[in-house]
Structure 1
Amino acid sequence: MKFCMLTTFFGSHSFGGDAAFVDRLSRALARQGHEVHVIHCRDAFEASRGDQTPRPYSAPPGVVIHPLESRAGVLSPLATHQTGRPLFKARAIGRLLHDIRPDVVHFHNLSLIGGPGLLQIPAPGAIKFMTAHEHWLVCPLHVLWKHDQSVCERSECVRCCVKSLRPPQLWRMTPLLDRSLRHLDALICPSLSTRREHARRGIVARMMHLPYFLPHDYTGMPAAATPTPARPYVAAAGRLEKIKGFQDVIEAMRRLPGLDLRIAGSGQYEAELREQARGLDNVLFEGRLDAANVAALFRGARAVAVPSLVYETFGYVVLEAFAERAPVVVRNLGALPELVAESGGGLVFDSPDGLVEALGKLASDDDLRRTLGENGHRSRHGIWSESEHLDRYLALIDEHQQRHRERQRTGPALARAVAAVKRREPVLLPEEAFEPVR
């Protein structure tokens, strides 16, 4: 089959978990002999990257990358942000879809490549999916973090955008999103939590639960030596932002002097975290590490802390910890406790005391650490394996292809029936027209 992935950031011009997922899915499909095309917006990366430079990336055999650049430059993603439509990119994307003629069009992060309006772009005969990698459909800031203070439970989107120094998106007050979602065959949610949050915040679409995965060759990455620490440590990794909650783990270290915290990553909140950790000899900043060195860090840890303050849609770092047999300690929010419940691979906390207690247990109890780590590792090779994901993904495609064929078969008969009713004539419908809608 031919697949076309449309996403804002990808490959050399990317950051974040959505680009990692698109890369992993594209490679997995190509390994099975499918043809994969990835369309992404280079202008959006230039508008958003700050001081981050493009990283090395080469596409594997079977994956073709189509970076989009407009004469309008960074004005192109800005126009999409404000109108919710592809505008400067519509013609180029339309030409690519016409030339590729994909069997499946899979939308991912649409925020700056085309907005919800991109879902309406013609792709005759193709199945259309979208994966909700973030809460962008229901939150202009993507993460349901209100006024930079707390989880959003009651929306004040315009005020929140202004306080975050972002221009409000007036298209969110129009029917554009609802109309665009009708063009999807399915909205794929990586977790049950994500599906619940979208439903309760007003998204009307056929939503399917299909979790992320780690590729078969994930453990085949270049090896890095596992550190032999002088002291036991807990690891944390990710972008150093307030919403990731690392400040709560730093605070817990004041009460755990026999345990170190080693944080891998960089980001805009790094200075505040370093200031908070001043005087704490058991808090260490590792800087930005590549995947192999993050894996080595996790491998030697008593636990990996994932204290996110927002509704994570999944939590790739949990799977990466499980790949190294490291148990996790997660906040009871969003998809994170769901992953722990499914795997039995960690502990969940609700409060600062609960965080200290969980870290203390895993620091001192070898049997508990080993049991939880093995549970997580087994689940990573089962629930969240590449083969499990692809089996379910391809089955979903097959289901919708059958639905398309049924609609093509019954559509003309139903159209004739409607015309006959208007003329007040007797109506004979094919038997398939009476099948229940699922």
Structure 2
Amino acid sequence: MHVLVVHNRYASAQPSGENRVVDEEVGLLRAAGHRVEVFERRSDDIAGRSLLGKVAVPLLVPWNPAVRTELAARLRADRPDVVHVHNVFPLLSPAVLAACADAGVPVVATLHNYTQVCPPGTLHRDGRPCGECVGSAVPLPAVRHGCYRNSRLATVPLAVGLAVNRRRWWSGVDRFLCISAAQRDVLVRSGMPADRLVVKHNFVPEPGVRRTNAGEHLLFLGRLAEPKGVRLLMDAWDAVAADGGVGVPLVLAGAGPLEPEVTAWAAGRDDVRYAGLYDPAACREAVAKAVAVVAPSLSRETFGLVVAEAMAAGVPAVAAGHGAFVELVEDGVTGLLHRPGEAGSLVECLRRITAGPERNRAMGRAARSRYEQGFGPDVGLARLLEEYRSAIADRSGGGNSAPPVGNDNAGSRRGTRAGGDGGQEK
């Protein structure tokens, strides 16, 4: 199959799970023998623009006419079987959909966040969940609250783009890939076309290293930001420490706006270590040495990559009991779920996950089994090709004209497509 992947890469100053997912899917498809090309822009390039060029960037967020022209020409020349759209903010814009329509090429779009219904894509504001813009044709509350980077001015292009391009997205994409059923439920309730919203979880590559003992630390691995529950974790850990600790230290790895606060909090303590940014190999090693990974997000995560990575390494998770985490973590079997936003509930789970080594190891084995069944590369490839094939068949008006995609057993998984009706940082 010939696939063109369209993606605006997030800035490299902070690790991006979305960039990783895109790169890993491209690698997975290529390793399986498919021809994959990439049409991309990089947010890093904004810094090298002239002053006038930087000022013009917000104007390109709702619509970039140059991108439409460039992509349409490439599609006419290369004629891919399908275009797979990921992120289009801020330099690509929904003009990519018009280019695909111009060329008559089927489009699949992975929805990595909630940008279809929330300008910043987080469904989170002022330390709590927020859904004021969900279902609204014009997301004025986001502008009023300055939801993107705490700035009304910066939020305007996102709000305008969402309002003017809503129908273009809904009519121009043949198949939306939601990365969890929880995400799909929100989008269906917002009015998006349910028949084109399917669930395809992210896959996680084999880590190459698994936990072989009881673990050495509890691990928070992610962006140091309020929606990720960093302050909640610090409060809970202080309560744990005041009661004598749990016998292992807490390691925090990542970067973000709360980094100075985390650094100051961890300084001089034996029970806490701030590790800064890990490279991918160090991340895998840290996960494999963990008693558990901790994911106390305040926002409703659309997936939870760090939890799936822990499962791949045979490590259980302690996660907030909402969003996609309830799909990834079976409470008491593959990890523990705490009440979202409640430090006391998180404290209880941290104590429980470290109190019984044998039970913890059993959870780790169950987590690994869950990974193999639902989140490994073979499963990810089969689901991806299944949705490509469906989008092509739908566009052509029948399944017979869709090109072959290898193992035909993917078609038997159609019943898993729709898991039930129900953050923009650059």
Shorter-chain TM-score: which interval?
0.7 to 0.9
Once residues 31 and 9 of structure 1 are traced to their aligned partners in structure 2, the CA distance between those partners, rounded to angstroms, is 22
Task: After TM superposition, list the pairs within 5 Å mapping 1:161-240 onto structure 2.
Answer: 161=146, 164-165=150-151, 166-169=154-157, 170-172=159-161, 174-204=163-193, 206-215=196-205, 218-220=206-208, 232-240=216-224
Query: Is 1:80 matched up with 2:57?
Result: no
Letter in 1 for 2:117: V
Question: C-alpha deviations, 1:9-48, integer Å up to 9, x for none?
Answer: 0797984121111111111110111111111113x22337
- What amino acid sits opposite 1:340 in the alignment? V
* 1:356 paired residue number: 347
Deviation at 1:323, TM superposition (A): 1.9
Aligned residues with identical type, % of pairs: 27
The one-letter code of the counterpart of 1:300 is: K
Cα distance change, pair 296–174 in 1 and its aligned pair in 2 (3 A):
closer
- Provide the aligned C-alpha RMSD in A: 3.1
Distance 1:70 1:383 in 2: 47
* Counterparts of 2:381 and 2:399, CA distance in 1: 27
* CA–CA distance in structure 2, aligned partners of residues 150 and 327 of structure 1: 26
Instruction: Tell me which of 85, 89, 108 is aligned to 1:129.
Output: 108
| Preserved contact between residue 102 and residue 126 of structure 1 (Cα < 8 Å) | yes
**Residues 72 and 88 of structure 1 are in contact (CA less than 8 Å); yes or no, is this contact kept in structure 2?**
no
Check whether the contact 1:315–1:336 (CA below 8 A) recurs between aligned residues. Answer: yes
Residues 190-221 of structure 1 deviation map (CA, whole Å, 9 limit, x = unaligned):
00011011222333351000100012xx334x
Which residue is equivalent to 2:234? Answer: 250
Tell me if structure 1 keeps the 8 A contact 2:115–2:121: yes
Partner of 1:423: none
**Residues 164 and 202 of structure 1: is their aligned pair in 2 closer, same or farther, counting only changes over 3 Å?**
farther
1:118 deviates by 2.4
Equivalent position to 1:284, from 273, 280, 297: 273
Query: What code does the residue aligned with 1:78 have?
Result: P
Indicate how the Cα distance of structure 1 residues 238 and 157 shifts in structure 2: closer, same or farther if over 3 A, else same. same
Q: TM-score, normalised by structure 2?
A: 0.81
The residue type equivalent to 2:68 in the other structure is: A
Structure 2: distance between partners of 1:408 and 1:360:
53
| Cα deviation, residue 226, structure 1 | 9.2
Verify the 8 A CA contact 1:322 1:376 in the aligned structure 2: yes
Structure 1, residues 244-282: CA drift from partner, whole Å, max 9, x if none? 112222222223233321111122211122334456531
- Partner residue of 2:144 out of 146, 150, 159: 159
Partner of 1:58: none
1:145 matches 2:133: no
SS of the equivalent of 1:102 reads coil
| Mapped contact 1:40–1:113 kept (Cα < 8 A) | no
- How far residue 328 of structure 1 moved from its aligned partner, in angstroms, is 0.2
1:305 match: secondary structure: strand
Mapped pair 1:32 → 2:22 = no
- SS of structure 2 residue aligned to 1:304: strand
Paired with 1:35 and 1:254, the residues of 2 have a C-alpha distance of 52
Q: Deviations over 1:352-383 (max 9, x none)?
A: 22211111111110122111111111121221
Aligned to 1:378: 369
Residue 299 of structure 2 is aligned to residue 310 of structure 1: yes
Aligned letter for 2:144?
Answer: R
Aligned counterpart, 1:324? 313
After superposition, where does 1:404-415 map in structure 2 within 5 Å? Answer: 404-406=395-397
The SS at the match of 1:289 is coil
Structure 1 residue identity aligned to 2:227: I
Tell me which residue corresponds to 1:275: 264
Unpaired segments of 5 or more residues in structure 1?
50-68, 410-437
TM-score by length of 1: 0.79
Query: Is the partner of 1:256 in helix, strand or coil?
Result: helix
Deviations 1:208-248 (A, max 9, x none): 00100012xx334xx7999998xx52111112111111222
Aligned partner of residue 68 in structure 2, secondary structure: helix
Q: Does the 8 Å CA contact 2:68/2:98 hold for their aligned counterparts?
A: no
User: CA–CA distance in 1 between the matches of 2:124 and 2:300?
Assistant: 9
Aligned partner of 2:17 in structure 1 is 17
**Alignment partner of 1:212: what SS?**
coil
